Amino acid sequence: MSFNASRSTSSDVHHVRRFAAVGAWCLAACGIAGARADESALQLKDAPEAVTVRAHCSGCHSVDYIQMNSAFMKKAGWEAEVRKMIKVMGAPVPEDEVARIVSYLAMNYGVE
């Protein structure tokens, strides 16, 4: 008996659809669980620019991302990171707020 890829039975199609549906449900469940993670204890260091940073950065990632990188980022590194988020990841940060965000990150989470 040989396998013929061009011939599929309705049973095969049913199994593929069922597998796809279960996979999609699992991905959705993981996404919902991630969205419900309690981040209320994660706070940015207090400064006037913290509101701007939270508004532009926490829409895409948790503030713990900032804290994780603070151990080794200099001001130039923070600027490169902010610009990467804008250019590569599509973060909607107005150009006139980039310097304020970078200054806040360098002063509060930088190594310089």
Is residue 84 over pLDDT 50? yes
| pLDDT at 5 (0 to 100) | 52
Q: How far apart are CA 56 and CA 96, in angstroms?
A: 13
Between the alpha carbon of residue 28 and those of residues 15, 20, 36, 57, the distances in Å are: 20, 12, 12, 23
Q: How confident is the model at residue 89 (pLDDT cuts 50, 70, 90)?
A: very high
Rounded Cα distance between 100 and 48, Å, is 10
Residues 10-25 have a mean pLDDT of 58
User: Over the range 26-60, which residues count as b (16 or more CB within 10 Å of their CB) and which as e?
Assistant: eeeeeeeeeeeeeeeeeebbeeebeebbeebbeee
What distance in Å separates the CA atoms of residue 22 and residue 13, rounded to the nearest whole number?
14
Q: Check whether 17 has a pLDDT greater than 80.
A: no
Q: What is the pLDDT of residue 56?
A: 93
58 secondary structure, DSSP code: T
